[in-house]
Copies of this chain bind each other. A is one copy, B any other.
């Protein structure tokens, strides 16, 4: 994981690579992503340690990160929106998630299973697939 300072430096590079100003909000939000194992939703960012950020700022920051391919959304069956950090293969114009998502029914956490590939889906004739999203619900390692 690295020291606090190393993480801050890594975040700085990430933001500069994406041609974004290095600001307190962006740094804090990325820190939270790196610290937490699972996917985050909007509410998680409002209770950030110390200073609280305006809801609007958080919405805009998350949207910016989505645009730049730094984070991705995870599909849900409710109105909540969950976000997770992208791996290095993702970029602004070529944004793929080749992993599946797992939502634990016990603890409620959603995590990216990076090692588990999305299986090939055989669609009926006439359909062209662009992206495939897989969300598995069940009981996770920790809750078993």
Contact = CB atoms under 8 A, between A and B. Distances in A.
Complex copy number for this chain: 2
Interface string A127-144: 111111111111111001
Interface string A107-144: 00000010110011111111111111111111111001
Q: How large is the interface on A (under 10, 10 to 19, 20 to 34, 35 or more residues)?
A: 35 or more
A131 B136 contact: yes
A134 B121 contact: yes
B126 A140 contact: yes
Given A75-B75, A75-B76, A116-B122, A132 B134 contact: yes
Given A77-B81, A119-B120, A136 B141 contact: no
Contacts of A73: 77-78
Interface of A: 73-81, 100, 102, 105, 113, 115-116, 119-141, 144
